[in-house]
Structure formats: structure tokens, C-alpha cells
């Protein structure tokens, strides 16, 4: 349960397609997920993990996806999970009965379209982490030292998909017309942070850095490298994309940066 997915340096260009994981070991991804969610039950009065627990202890498992129709794969996955639980003196998880695993995703997508037309029941869910973007501090340059950064909360823990948050009172400077880098962070334990919360210091346990985003934002009539005064707006879409919009304080200029939230989780 202490193992984590292996990662390697990716090439700058690759064929478009699904964002496949770099490590094919399912149990490593499962271990990473359960460890990150160790504190997920803190707000639930009826569920308390023992003090020695190193990961969230599931009590039941529901398979999804045609690949898990293979009995050997499903049995091995349950055996590994239950071995982790036994090692921490926890009850073994039971396997729930599923129906037509290979059609589950397709049926879910079809039902979601049905719900979008105002029919059926929609089960709302929120983000499993709080998300932050780095803001470079305004300070004189010091030779040999990178400028300090602040982590700004743009999507709080549990933010519902299909909703958005505004930061109209905070002004930032957006660099346009030249290559820039956006750094994103996530936290599964800072559940009280609101939109606009700024963190000057944090530990690796509090915030984990996600993939950086290198991009050149269009100038839209401005000169390359110009710093445009903007305020920010963030939204989480139904497909798990975090949309960060920078809105000009002086005119109708608007720039959108998109980040795959679910890939970060």
C-alpha cells in the first residue's frame, strides 16, 4: 500500500487521444487514491479510522468497466485490497454485485443526457480536492533567487460540477503574448479553504503540485509581454475540467485556461 504509480518525463509532443496512465499497475493507483483519501471521513460522525491507519479503509467494492469481467483480474484486485486491510487489523471489504460491467459507462452517459433534458434524477457530486493556482509575488528581483509564489484557492473542496466562483475584488496581472507557465496545486485535507484563500507557506502533505501548464495567451491587440490587470473566475465543468478565466478590468478582454481536474486526482 506504500507503493505509488511510476512516472516518467513526457515528450513535448504526443498524439492526441485519451489521457492514459503512465503506469499500468492498477494496485499502485488504488494505493495512491486510498492514501490521499485517508482523512476523507473526518467530517463523518459515524466513521472513525483507527489512529494507526495509513489509508482509507473501504468496506465494499463495486466494479465498473468491461475489463473487470475477467474473474482473474477482479479476484486479484480484491485479494490485494483485503491483504492491505488485514495488515491494519481492519475488516475485509465485500464485493458488491454489478450488472453488465461493459455497458455501465455507456448507460451512465445516456442517462446523463436524459437528465440534462430535465428528466430523471441527478446525483450531484463535488470535487474531491481543493485546487489552487500559483501567483507570483510582487517584489524586487534578487539575483539567484526565484520570486516567491502564493497559492490562491480557485476551487474549494466539494465545489459542484457545473458551478463557478468569482474573485471580483482581487486584481492580478496577466502576462499575454509570450510563453508563460501556470502551476496548479491540489489538497485533499484543506477542506475549509474558500475561494480567494491565499497560502504563503504549506507542507508537501497539505498541497501536492499537479502538472504544469505552459501556454502563450493571445495578445488581442496588445503588445507581447504586456501585463493586463484582470480578475479571476473559475468553473468546474460536468466533464471534470477546471476552467480558469482571466477577465480584463479595463475592457472586454477575456482569457481562458483549462485544466483536467480528474487527471490530477
Query: 3-class secondary structure for 170-184?
Result: EEEEEECCCEEEECE
- The predicted pLDDT at position 131 comes to 94
CA distances to 24, 156, 234 from 183, rounded to whole Å, are 26, 17, 15
The values of phi and psi at residue 194, to 5°, are -105, 170
* Widest CA span in the chain: 64
Q: What is the DSSP letter of 68?
A: G
Domain ranges for the chain: 26-116, 130-264
Judge contact between 170 and 206, C-beta under 8 A: no
User: Which CATH number applies to 130-264: 2.60.40, 3.30.1490, 2.120.10, 2.60.34?
Assistant: 2.60.34
Per DSSP bridges, beta strands 184-187 and 130-136 are antiparallel
- The predicted pLDDT at position 63 comes to 93
**Number of Cβ atoms within 10 Å of the Cβ of 169:** 7
- The predicted pLDDT at position 141 comes to 58
Q: pLDDT 10s per residue in the chain (265 long)?
A: 889 888 776 655 555 566 677 788 899 999 988 988 876 666 666 677 888 899 999 999 999 889 999 999 999 999 999 999 999 999 999 999 988 899 988 888 898 888 888 888 877 777 888 999 999 877 665 676 677 889 999 999 989 888 889 887 788 999 999 999 899 999 988 989 999 999 999 998 899 998 888 889 998 888 898 999 999 999 988 777 889 999 998 888 899 998 876 655 5
Judge contact between 97 and 60, C-beta under 8 A: no
Query: Which among 92, 93, 98, 94 is positioned nearest to 68, based on CA atoms?
Result: 98
- The predicted pLDDT at position 18 comes to 63
Alpha helices per DSSP H over the chain: 26-36, 71-87, 104-116, 261-264
Q: What sign does the dihedral 55-60-61-62 (CA atoms) show? A: negative
Query: pTM, whole model, 2 decimals?
Result: 0.68
- The predicted pLDDT at position 19 comes to 66
Judge contact between 81 and 30, C-beta under 8 A: yes
| Alpha carbon distance 132, 130 (integer Å) | 7
| Alpha carbon distance 81, 90 (integer Å) | 11
Amino acid at each position: 500500500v506504500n507503493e505509488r504509480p511510476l512516472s516518467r518525463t513526457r515528450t513535448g509532443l504526443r498524439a492526441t487521444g485519451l489521457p492514459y496512465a503512465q503506469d499500468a499497475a492498477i494496485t499502485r493507483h488504488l494505493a495512491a487514491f486510498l492514501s490521499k483519501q485517508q482523512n476523507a471521513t473526518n467530517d463523518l460522525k459515524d466513521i472513525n479510522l483507527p489512529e494507526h491507519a495509513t489509508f482509507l479503509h473501504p468496506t465494499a467494492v463495486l466494479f465498473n468497466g468491461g475489463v473487470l469481467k475477467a474473474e482473474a483480474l477482479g479476484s486479484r484486485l480484491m485479494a490485494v485490497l483485503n491483504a492491505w486491510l488485514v495488515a491494519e487489523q481492519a475488516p475485509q471489504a465485500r464485493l458488491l454485485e454489478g450488472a453488465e460491467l461493459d455497458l455501465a459507462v455507456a448507460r451512465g452517459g445516456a442517462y446523463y443526457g436524459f437528465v440534462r433534458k430535465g428528466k430523471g434524477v441527478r446525483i450531484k457530486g463535488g470535487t474531491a480536492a481543493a485546487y489552487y493556482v500559483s501567483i507570483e509575488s510582487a517584489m524586487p528581483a534578487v539575483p539567484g533567487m526565484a520570486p516567491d509564489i502564493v497559492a490562491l484557492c480557485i476551487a474549494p473542496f466539494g465545489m459542484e460540477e457545473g458551478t463557478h466562483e468569482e474573485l471580483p475584488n482581487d486584481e492580478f496581472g496577466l502576462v499575454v503574448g509570450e510563453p508563460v507557465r501556470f502551476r496548479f496545486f491540489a489538497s485533499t485535507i484543506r477542506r475549509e479553504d474558500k475561494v480567494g484563500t491565499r497560502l504563503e507557506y504549506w507542507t508537501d502533505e497539505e498541497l501536492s503540485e499537479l502538472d504544469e501548464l505552459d501556454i502563450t495567451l493571445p495578445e488581442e491587440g496588445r503588445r507581447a509581454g504586456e501585463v493586463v490587470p484582470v480578475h479571476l473566475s473559475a468553473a468546474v465543468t460536468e466533464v471534470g475540467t477546471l476552467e480558469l478565466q482571466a477577465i480584463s478590468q479595463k475592457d472586454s478582454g477575456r482569457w481562458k485556461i483549462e485544466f483536467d481536474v480528474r487527471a490530477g486526482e
